[in-house]
């Protein structure tokens, strides 16, 4: 299957509340205000959403893989119940010290999605709340990057500014990002 109009989303801090202790079970997963509405809005406008997330709690032996898969299944079901759709979830299970190719800011997860779905990264948007997310989008050749101020976004904004890395947009939250994309201000189908 080939996908166009693809939006890559980080998970924690973008779709749901982040936690320094990780989201280790569904009971700890809480959608951020407006995130379900944002995903539904993008879905209704023909965008395909793919979650790209680091989940080192797997290799840290904090939870088994089955628990992470259950969290993602329930997240996707809740999104579907709200009228949205998450096409796929790609995650990196590795710790930072393992130096894998899939842990953001490396672009491995986006490359996996590209291969599976025939995606042209230049026609995609990466939305995240961390400097790693924005670097990942840039490293993968995404057409645009959007930093949201939820989660770690405010700290990431300072970190990126210090490194002279500028996302294509910085917005309050996922809903604001979705509205920019749907208005074709940024991303696939952008009005030139």
Active site residue 97: no
| Percent of residues in the chain assigned helix, strand, coil, to nearest 5 | 40, 15, 45
Positive or negative CA dihedral for 24, 36, 133, 51? positive
Active site residue 17: no
Out of 4, 10, 21, 173, which one is annotated catalytic? Answer: 10
Contact between residue 25 and residue 67 where contact means Cβ atoms under 8 Å apart: yes
Out of 12, 129, 133, 173, which one is annotated catalytic? Answer: 12
User: In the chain, what are the domains?
Assistant: 6-182 (3.40.50.1000)
What per-residue confidence (pLDDT) applies to 192? Answer: 53
What per-residue confidence (pLDDT) applies to 189? Answer: 61
Consecutive 10-residue averages of pLDDT for the chain (192 residues): 91 96 96 98 97 96 96 98 98 96 97 96 96 97 96 91 94 98 80 57
């Amino acid at each position: 299957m080939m996908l166009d109009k693809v939006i890559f989303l980080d998970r924690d801090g973008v779709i749901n509340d982040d936690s320094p202790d990780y989201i280790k079970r569904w009971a700890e997963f809480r959608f951020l205000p407006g995130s379900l509405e944002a995903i539904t809005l993008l879905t209704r406008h023909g965008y395909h959403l793919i979650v790209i997330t680091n989940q080192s709690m797997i290799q840290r032996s904090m939870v088994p893989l089955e628990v992470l898969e259950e969290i993602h299944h329930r997240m996707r079901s809740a999104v579907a119940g709200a009228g949205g759709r998450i096409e796929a979830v790609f995650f990196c299970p590795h710790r930072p010290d393992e130096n894998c190719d899939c842990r953001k800011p490396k672009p491995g997860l986006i490359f996996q999605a590209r291969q599976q779905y025939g995606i042209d990264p230049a026609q995609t948007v990466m939305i995240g709340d961390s400097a790693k997310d924005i670097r990942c989008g840039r490293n993968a050749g995404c057409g645009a990057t959007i930093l949201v101020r939820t989660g770690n976004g405010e700290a990431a904004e300072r970190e990126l500014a210090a490194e002279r890395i500028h996302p294509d947009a910085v917005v309050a939250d996922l809903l604001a990002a979705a509205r920019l994309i749907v208005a074709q201000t940024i991303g696939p189908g952008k009005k030139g």
